[in-house]
Amino acid sequence: MIDTITPAGCGSRNRYVISLLAFAVAAVAAAATLGAIVGAVGGLFTPSVGILLAAALAVLGVVRELGIARISVPERSRQVPEHWRRELPLPVWSAGYGAGLGFGILTHQVVFTFWVVLAAVLAIGDPVVGAICVGLFGAGRAAMVGIPTFGTDGWRQRVLETMSRTRRPLGWVNAFVVAAVALTLVAQPALGMDAPVGTGQTDPAASGKTLARTVTANGISTVVVAAPGRDPVRYENARHPALNSRLLAVTRNGGISILEWASGREVFRLDGPIEKPAISWPWIAYLRKRNGSTSLELRNIPRGTRRVMATAGRREDLGRPAMRGGWLAWHFATGRRSQLWLTNVRRLNRRTLIASSRTGIHINPSLTNTHIAWVDQSATTSRLVVRKINGDRQRSIARVIGRDRIFWTTALTNKRAYVTRWSLRGRRAKIIGRAWR
């Protein structure tokens, strides 16, 4: 190809430019098309299929490139049909050559990288991401044809000799890259995972200077409410506290209780397979579990009206909602995407996507009247982030690094933010607080 697409091979400088342009456009377009197809197919399967395939191919690639064993690369041991150049018009055969090489699976492959990338795209399951990732492969093939032809015969010869000398070191680099791709996929956090099971303090809820939390010990959960100048108030066999000034909502005895936390008087009771409340009087939001699915419901307590805000299937996660000042936030996660949503109870048909990711997770939001906080978790880092509801600039106010410790549920006031910090190895949780303004 390097000798074919040159001014001499094409007959003139102008014909060479046309040929190179047709080749490059076709190579990128064919590669992007392949990536989009693989991404769309991957969307039909669970991510584990692509992850396992990418990991297996990466292992083979590392073994091969490091010279540990001789392993053949899946390929067709040919390049493009030579006779096209003699039988077809120049723009047609140039584009055909580009499409054949860009599509990848129809021609010779030197290393496993191409197949590892395809498996990674299959795992991601997004046609757009697939088109971009594999499209870069097509751009690379176009560059390898075009760059050596931009000079004299001596320049081209020097480029080819350099490429030949660096083949072995590039093989080592390629082994590192394919291993990194597989490890990155395998290391991604599980979307929609349940809260860790263990002991300690979890589920902070805050209103002003009052802080509520779930304390778990010996398999028993107790909600503890602490306010300055008062003895802590305890509610046995309760969990998932939500505070709204003098009111406390908890999951308790097969339903949700709304109490005046200082006196213990029950103000309202909802029975059924519901849990994880959020309260901003006269509204309450909660999760309802039914037949393996989960729905987020919003209820006006005095009126008794109810509306389903979101639903999730068996393999999806609908997170605990947060409410404050008429705002309602929640997270939704599938095996391929994590999203954080926000709406106002006065304009329920208008929703804002606060954050979205395909490689990490955004979970467990909390609110003030003007700000939203949540956990942004990647493979090895958990961050507690905050931003204005009507803004887009977020900042990190706490961070943990490592696979053993993660952030979980959050609470937010006008001056302090709280988050549950889990030690996975010891299965213990602790609530930490940070001043954020």
> Tens digits of per-residue pLDDT, 98-146?
888 888 776 766 667 777 788 888 877 778 888 998 898 888 878 777 6
C-alpha of 288 from chain center:
25
Ordered by where they begin, the domains of the chain are 7-187 (no CATH), 199-435 (2.130.10.120)
The pLDDT of residue 186:
58
> Tens digits of per-residue pLDDT, 338-354?
999 999 998 888 899 99
> Tens digits of per-residue pLDDT, 10-59?
667 777 788 888 888 998 999 999 999 988 888 776 666 667 777 777 77
SS3 track for 80-93? CCCCHHHHCCHHHH
On the CB side of 87, how many CA atoms lie within 13 Å of its CA? 5
How many whole angstroms separate alpha carbon 305 and alpha carbon 15? 72
pLDDT tier at 192, thresholds 50, 70, 90: very low
Burial class (CB in 10 A: 0-12, 13-18, 19+), 296: buried
User: Which phi-psi region, left, alpha or beta, contains residue 182 (left: φ > 0; alpha: ψ -120 to 50)?
Assistant: alpha
Give percent above pLDDT 90 in the chain. 45
* Contact predicate 192/362, CB 8 Å: no
47-52 CB contacts, 8 Å cutoff, 24+ apart: 47/123, 47/124, 47/125, 47/335, 47/336, 48/123, 49/122, 49/123, 50/119, 50/120, 50/121, 50/122, 50/123, 50/124, 50/125, 50/185, 51/119, 51/123, 51/182, 51/185, 51/186
pLDDT tier at 321, thresholds 50, 70, 90: very high
The pLDDT of residue 286:
97
- Whether the pLDDT of residue 401 is over 80: the answer is yes
Complete edge-to-edge strand list for the sheet that includes strand 255-260:
238-244, 247-252, 255-260, 265-271
The pLDDT of residue 191:
43
- Whether the pLDDT of residue 421 is over 70: the answer is yes
> Tens digits of per-residue pLDDT, 233-259?
999 999 999 999 999 999 998 999 999
Give this prediction's pTM.
0.65
Give percent above pLDDT 70 in the chain. 81
How many whole angstroms separate alpha carbon 415 and alpha carbon 213? 18
SS3 track for 308-362? EEEEECCCCEECCCEEECCEEEEEEECCCCEEEEEEECCEEEEEEEEEEECCCEE
How many whole angstroms separate alpha carbon 136 and alpha carbon 146? 15
